[in-house]
Amino acid sequence: MAVSPIIICLLSLIGYGSSHPSPPPRGCSVDVDPPYRVLCDLESVWGVVLEAVACSGGVTSLVLAVLLLVKLRSISDPARRSGLGPLLLLLGTLLGLFTISLAFLVGKNQALCVVRRAFWGPLFALCFSSLLVQGVRLRRLVAGKLSPTGSTLAALGLALALVQGIISAEWVLLTVVREGHPACEYPPLDFALTCSYTLGLLLIAMGLSLGVVLCGGELAGEGGGGGEEDREGESEKRRWKCNAVWLFLSSLASALLWVAWLGFYLYGSQALRGKGKRGGGQKEKVLDEPALAVALVIQGWILLLLHAIPETHLCLRKPPQTNTQDFFDTSNTSPPPHFGDDLPAHSHRPFPENQAFSMEEHSATLRSGTYHGSHGSARPGIAFRGQVYQPTEMALVMNGGTMPTAPINYTGRRLW
């Protein structure tokens, strides 16, 4: 009977050891729930690295957005100011894109899966609609037309992304609410098909930017060549084509990423999932959801490096100064020069030295119609009063208001 308490104590210790949770990995505390330990697990470093890259992308997007808002009043050119609306919309979307990528790293539950399925498509649609409206803006600017305002372009981008939001909301409501399927269980093909509209926006943006790069000169109206205004128009067109090149590169890189991601998600993931089922399901757990998180982070940094940062630089850069002088601009008036301070010492009294031009030489000049310079050279001049009779007011008064006639050999002004 004395052995029974010992057996009961050993069984209780075994039961406690079997029910005790596994120790946390290196870098995580005991208070961190197991689904979120991938964010602090230093043994599998990829989760921590991906989290750091996503957070740095979100901070960069936020800094660029604040910088544009601070410098908003300094941008006075309407053509450059019109690109701020789509650019701010893109930066706000990238901040949400980097944030939602963390939801694909942690474990699955019903709420997180609904968030993933509901926000994946609309966030990408906002990014690609921002690229599309930028392509529309650049097409009009290269053609020499006025661009819509930034608020109009941002509203157009929101309207285009709203369609994808409706598609994603209907997909979640039909599969989760109406049919009662778990939110974390869905075929990969359905997930890819719901993003087909988003992929269409990306292809249209890439086509618009490529058209501006290749055919931008043909889109402009016919104009005369050789003028100063034409040269300024050509330089402006080259600057807008530079924006279009960055837009095309970002769209092309995004399209290549989407082709690679869809190929892996639809075909490569199924093969790995089949091997994981035969090997105990470990491959499915490791490679299914993190692949979506990697695609989100790479896509965000592509748009940051190839579009948002160059577009911000081109918007905030000061326009080049033109060579033409505006004679009616009185904003930069300089004080009148002090001529007395600039005269040299030997030319303090220039008038006594230059009195050789006497009245007799003036009369001879008027008769001959020539002018003798200071170096002895003679050149023809205009005989202002030598051969044309010009009566004075006194002559008109003394002749009773009639025009007196002058003799043929009249050489100067005389009073009749």
331 confidence band (pLDDT: 50, 70, 90)? low
pLDDT at 318: 73
pLDDT at 55: 93
For residues 337 and 107, the model is more confident at 107
235 confidence band (pLDDT: 50, 70, 90)? confident
Q: How far apart are CA 390 and CA 406, in angstroms?
A: 9
Range name among 95-109, 167-181, 349-363 with the lowest pLDDT average: 349-363
Q: What is the mean pLDDT of residues 373-389?
A: 50
**Helix locations, 220-354, DSSP H:** 228-263, 269-278, 282-287, 289-303, 309-316, 339-342
| pLDDT one-digit tens code per residue, 281-322 | 444 444 556 778 888 999 999 999 999 999 999 888 876 665
Q: How far apart are CA 407 and CA 395, in angstroms?
A: 15
Q: Which one-letter DSSP state was computed for residue 380?
A: E
pLDDT at 12: 41
Q: How far apart are CA 137 and CA 124, in angstroms?
A: 20
Q: What is the mean pLDDT of residues 390-395?
A: 64
Q: How far is CA 371 from CA 288, 352, 379, in A?
A: 99, 21, 5
* DSSP class per residue in 89-149: HHHHHHHHHHHHHGGGTS---HHHHHHHHHHHHHHHHHHHHHHHHHHHHHHHHHTTPPPPP
Position 332 pLDDT exceeds 70: no
The helix/strand/coil state of 54 is helix
Q: Considering the entire predicted model, what is its pTM?
A: 0.68
| pLDDT one-digit tens code per residue, 23-41 | 776 767 777 776 676 777 7
164 confidence band (pLDDT: 50, 70, 90)? very high
Position 140 pLDDT exceeds 70: yes
For residues 317 and 85, the model is more confident at 85
pLDDT at 283: 44
Question: 84-101 and 289-303 helices cross at what angle (nearest 10)?
Answer: 160
Q: What is the mean pLDDT of residues 211-225?
A: 62
Range name among 83-92, 120-129, 273-282 with the lowest pLDDT average: 273-282
Q: What is the mean pLDDT of residues 47-70?
A: 92
pLDDT at 8: 37
Q: How far is CA 94 from CA 130, 196, 203, 295, 345, in A?
A: 11, 20, 19, 13, 71
pLDDT at 15: 38
Q: What is the mean pLDDT of residues 81-109?
A: 90
Q: How far is CA 151 from CA 67, 99, 132, 266, in A?
A: 18, 25, 15, 38
Q: How far apart are CA 161 and CA 304, in angstroms?
A: 19
Position 177 pLDDT exceeds 90: no
Range name among 51-60, 228-237, 370-379, 390-399 with the lowest pLDDT average: 370-379
Position 137 pLDDT exceeds 60: yes
